[in-house]
Amino acid sequence: MRIYKAKDYADMSRKAANIISAQVIIKPNSVLGLATGSSPIGAYRQLIEWYRKGDVDFRKVTSINLDEYRGLPQSDPQSYSYFMHQYFFDHVNVCPQNIHIPDGMAPDPQEECRRYDTLIQACGGIDLQLLGIGHNGHIGFNEPGEAFEKRTHCVSLSSSTIEANKRFFDNEESVPRQAYTMGMRSIMQAKQILLIVSGEEKAEIVKEAFCGPVTPQVPASALQLHNNVTLVGDQAALSLIPDGGIDE
Which spans of this chain sit near ligand GLP (rule: CB under 6 A)? 35-39, 66-67, 132-134, 140-141, 161, 165
Looking at the Cβ atoms of 60 and 224, the one nearer to ligand GLP is 224
DSSP assignments along 212-239, one per residue:
S--BTTBGGGGGGG-SSEEEEEETTTTT
Looking at the Cβ atoms of 46 and 165, the one nearer to ligand GLP is 165
Residue 218 and residue 212 in contact, taking contact as beta carbons nearer than 8 Å: yes
Q: Which phi and psi (to 5°) does residue 133 adopt?
A: -135, 135
Residues catalogued as catalytic: 67, 136, 138, 143
As measured in angstroms, the least distance from the Cβ of 68 to ligand GLP is 9
Q: Is 76 helix (H, G, I), strand (E, B) or coil?
A: coil
Looking at the Cβ atoms of 3 and 131, the one nearer to ligand GLP is 131
Looking at the Cβ atoms of 69 and 97, the one nearer to ligand GLP is 69
Q: How far apart are CA 207 and CA 157, in angstroms?
A: 23
Instruction: Outline where DSSP puts E strands in the chain.
Output: 2-6, 31-34, 62-65, 67-69, 99-100, 128-131, 153-156, 178-181, 192-197, 229-234
As measured in angstroms, the least distance from the Cβ of 131 to ligand GLP is 6
Q: Is 16 helix (H, G, I), strand (E, B) or coil?
A: helix
As measured in angstroms, the least distance from the Cβ of 80 to ligand GLP is 8
Q: Which of 145, 132, 10 is nearest to 65 (CA)?
A: 132
Q: How far apart are CA 211 and CA 240, in angstroms?
A: 10
Looking at the Cβ atoms of 66 and 231, the one nearer to ligand GLP is 66
As measured in angstroms, the least distance from the Cβ of 87 to ligand GLP is 12
As measured in angstroms, the least distance from the Cβ of 221 to ligand GLP is 15
